[in-house]
Amino acid sequence: MKRLFALFVCTVLLLSAAPTFALADGGILRVGTDAEPIGFDPHTISAVASARVMTQLYNQLVDVDGDLNVVPELAESWEQPDDTTYIFHLRGDVTFHNGRSMTAEDVKYSFERILDPNVGALGSSASYAGDIESIEIIDDLTVKFTLKQINAPFLASLSSWYCSIVAKEAVEENGDLLSADGGTGPFTLGEWIPDNMVSINKYDGYFIPDQPKVDGIEFYVMTDSSARLAALRTGSVDLIAADTSMLPLVAGDANINTLSYQSRNYAALCLNTTLPQFSDVRVRQAISLALNRQDIIDLAYNGEAEVSGFVPASLGHWAVDVTEHPLYQQDIEKAKALMSEAGYADGFEVTLIVGLLDSLRDIGAVAQQQLAEIGITVNVVNKENAEYVALWSAHDFEIMACQNGAGSDPSRGVAFFFKTGNSANIAGYSNARVDELCELGAGTTDVAQREEYYKEAIEIILDEEPNVVIASPREYFLSSAKLLGFEPSAAEPYSLATAYLAE
């Protein structure tokens, strides 16, 4: 399952002797989430709040483990006769939630839907499945993909929820999958009450034995972090999305477990480079120089994050150490000089859009104060989740505080967000050499050569600052001590099929 992606570190901090429980099967797992989902169509929805539910409903051909290795999921094996051909051998025991067996025809249909511009998936989803020239059904359980050219990240990209395999009849009956269920995952979609809760139910026909463990999961929307913590303390929920401000409040509480992992996500101020002020690289560099990233980390993450670029250290050898980069050192005087050179000695006024995540709101507040020092007046506007995602998708903003995922391959961190014309390139950034390096990086399977190409691209983007990246956070959950079997990681941040409740 999916999995928004970094080297897996999961710790359970039991700060006093924990109570013991008898093991039990079944029951309803109740989860307090921090944002409202906007729908559950894996081919068209990018919101993390939706992904937490979608990843329980759908599977992909392959998965990626904590060490960035591609592993089987719906495909039990695959072969690559040449650099542009992939033949997948499917499991024979997979059924959709309507009871029908999954076949190669479903794989073909799913990817044709992903690549169909009329579906609205031509952006994020299609970029993951890019370069497919043809899809051929060999037999009921064998499907062949032929690419237009070598695409080194292709196999890992298929692990994204964007590449979920869906049932054609579910799409045709409902028009889309925004509030319908066309999956093969461990849970089926139940009830969705907007601004309140989403329920999902155990799928008895799931192909992995003894999963899922619980009878169902209820996701309750609780945008206020104190409300989530109160609900956990009183037993109204069993698991919550946590922020670092909660950690001291639960220290020593034997009834609450703390779980964490170093994410492959990062926070950034995304600048709309199509606007006059942000089309000037000197203004973008000045914004980077005006920020004290450690101050932001201390407030937004209680220090539980690391200064980062858009390919975080958790991606291992692909990452570039940015801690000594000149534009990561706060220098107000140099920033003012750059503003003056760009013709903005008196500064300007701008609107910064933030979403419902507490960390993004805190980043907006600190950025507002720090950018004021170089004459930029920032008006912070908080948007509900659906509107925030709509503005992101339409690239309709001046500055937006974003939390992006760097994925499992540098093509995600680099090409997905910065190649000219890509839908996730919300900054509207364009650099011909970066585009060339992205093509070169995807066009060879030589790891050392790919690393050279991507690191050159990373250095160019770091110098030109279309997205002013701040930090890569640790991610936290708090759970009842009765919740067992849940081990979040960057590869599997919300995989709940193995979670169960003790009595």
The domains of the chain are located at 11-41+46-56+180-263+475-501, 58-174, 265-473
The CATH class of the 11-41+46-56+180-263+475-501 domain is: alpha beta
Q: What is the pLDDT of residue 11?
A: 33
Q: Please tell me the pTM assigned to this model.
A: 0.80
> Tokens for 31?
């989860």
Give the model's confidence band at 243: pLDDT under 50 very low, under 70 low, under 90 confident, else very high.
confident
Higher pLDDT, 23 or 84: 84
- Alpha carbons 323 and 309: distance in angstroms, whole number: 9
Gap between the Cα atoms of 64 and 209, Å rounded: 20
Task: Summarize the confidence of residues 191-220 as an average pLDDT.
Answer: 96
Bigger pLDDT: 318 vs 332: 332
Q: Residue 22 pLDDT more than 90?
A: no
- The pLDDT confidence band at residue 7, using thresholds 50, 70 and 90, is very low
Contact 152, 440 (CB under 8 A): no
With contact defined as beta carbons under 8 Å apart, do 428 and 274 qualify? yes
| Average pLDDT of the residues in 484-492 | 89
- For residue 7, give the DSSP letter: S
Q: Report which of residues 56 and 223 the model is more confident about.
A: 56
Position 92 pLDDT exceeds 80: yes
Is residue 191 packed enough to be buried (19+ CB in 10 Å), middle (13-18) or exposed (0-12)? exposed
Q: What is the mean pLDDT of the chain?
A: 90
Give the integer Cα–Cα distance in Å for 463 and 401. 19
pLDDT score, position 384: 87
**Per-residue pLDDT band at 385 (split at 50, 70, 90):** confident
Residue 207 binned pLDDT confidence (cut-offs 50, 70, 90)? very high
pLDDT at 350 over 60: yes
- What per-residue string of b and e applies to 242-277 under the rule 16 or more CB within 10 Å gives b? bbbbbbeebeebeebbbbbbbbbbbbbbbbbbeeeb
Distance CA 280, CA 259 (A): 43
Confidence check: pLDDT of 89 > 80: yes
Query: Do 11-41+46-56+180-263+475-501 and 58-174 come out as alike in CATH topology?
Result: no
The pLDDT of residue 121 is above 60:
no
Burial class (CB in 10 A: 0-12, 13-18, 19+), 134: exposed
- The class that CATH gives domain 58-174 is alpha beta
| Higher pLDDT, residue 192 or 124 | 192
pLDDT at 130 over 70: no
Torsion of CA 225, 230, 236, 237, to 10 degrees: 40
Q: Give the separation between CA 143 and CA 226, rounded to whole angstroms.
A: 49
Give me the pLDDT at residue 8, please: 28
Which one, of 392, 367, 390, 393, lies nearest residue 380 by Cα? 367
Q: What is residue 71's predicted lDDT score, i.e. its pLDDT?
A: 95
Top CATH class, 265-473 = alpha beta
Percent share of the chain, pLDDT over 70: 93
Percent of the chain with pLDDT over 90: 75
